Structure 1
């Protein structure tokens, strides 16, 4: 999947710098930066190579909190998701909070938090995936997908065996989420939008169960 980003910097009225990075197949150029100078209808562009590893993923740090709030607010055009993250952090319910950075600047965020799940009378070590947010100018470049993949890969080491998500039925199945797997759990959500994923085989084997979201979700 191609991952690229663009940044526009206005330099007076006649010049601009456009940074564009592309993840290419092995052996091909990985990244490029375009510098353009425009005078009236004339424009010139120069191409430069950039080093690999421009997009990085890491756990959030205390100094990231303000920008994580801003990213969620911008991505969802509202305050709910940003305040949800803040409240879950305050309540001590974080399991994994990851950020995506480009040249050290945080551009995306995903949160996995503790989720109460009971199946056939037994507790399941489960996480809720929500929210995942990318700055609007960096969206549709695969950053959100990479954040989800990085998080799912890290959760088993934290003892998590299953993940639940409420989201678009055409998006989350690509990561292995299944609405069928979630239907054995009581839920107020549309059946096709509420999905589950087993991180450990047969973690959700059973007949019926309940999922209890923390109060911060307002469910």
Structure 2
């Protein structure tokens, strides 16, 4: 398996990964979200995993904010993450998350938020954000699923309400919806 930055030629394959990874109920919406995030945040980190020159996994990390008492802090949100079902449980999702966090730490990003399965993401340094004083953006986000990873540039005053960009709201991708694969299925 190899990991690399997504290229324009990968867009159709990335959409297919999300459609198959999230299934018929949610996959099209997530594929559309990825396209919209590319337009909304051209500096978003977008990595693909390849096996035999086929894109089998994808992670996107785009801008978001924490509305802290001192000032608005630009942070990142890790969403979405998907692996083609036949390649799940082989460590591909984990490799994508580790690579993304490493690059973000090098770039001086202080915090990375996500909504996901704590059993999966805790292996990568994510903890319940509410326990650190962060306020979730919607009551539909489960307390256990609202998670954050603190990176090297984090400072203790950087706490407050997590704010998604409007793109997540436009595609109704905040909080629980129909059943989607648990991150633990991604490996």
1:214 is aligned to 165
What are the residue-to-residue correspondences of 1:127-166 with 2, within 5 Å?
A: 127-166=76-115
Unaligned runs of 5+ in 1: 1-54
Q: Please, which moves more after superposition, 97-106 or 206-215?
A: 206-215
Q: 1-side partners of 2:45 and 2:93: how far apart?
A: 15
Check if 1:70 corresponds to 2:16: yes
Is the contact between residue 110 and residue 132 of structure 1 (CA under 8 Å) also seen in structure 2?
yes
Root-mean-square deviation over aligned CA pairs = 1.8
User: SS state of the match for residue 118, structure 2?
Assistant: coil
Whose helix proportion is higher, 1 or 2?
Answer: 2
User: SS state of the match for residue 170, structure 1?
Assistant: helix
Cα displacement string for residues 182-203 of structure 1 (whole angstroms, at most 9, x for unaligned residues): 65122122211101111116x1
Q: 2-side partners of 1:145 and 1:159: how far apart?
A: 21
Kindly indicate whether structure 1 or structure 2 has the higher relative contact order, using CA contacts under 8 Å at least 6 residues apart.
2
Q: 2-side partners of 1:88 and 1:198: how far apart?
A: 23
What are the residue-to-residue correspondences of 1:70-109 with 2, within 5 Å?
A: 70-77=16-23, 78-109=27-58
Runs of 4+ in structure 1 off by over 4 angstroms are: 180-183
User: SS state of the match for residue 171, structure 1?
Assistant: helix
TM-score using structure 2 length? 0.81
Unaligned runs of 5+ in 2: 175-187
Which of 66, 69, 73 lines up with 1:117 in the alignment? 66
Is the contact between residue 4 and residue 48 of structure 2 (CA under 8 Å) also seen in structure 1?
yes
> CA 1:207–1:163 in 2, change beyond 3 Å: closer, same or farther?
closer
Q: 1-side partners of 2:112 and 2:158: how far apart?
A: 18
Structure with bigger gyration radius: 1
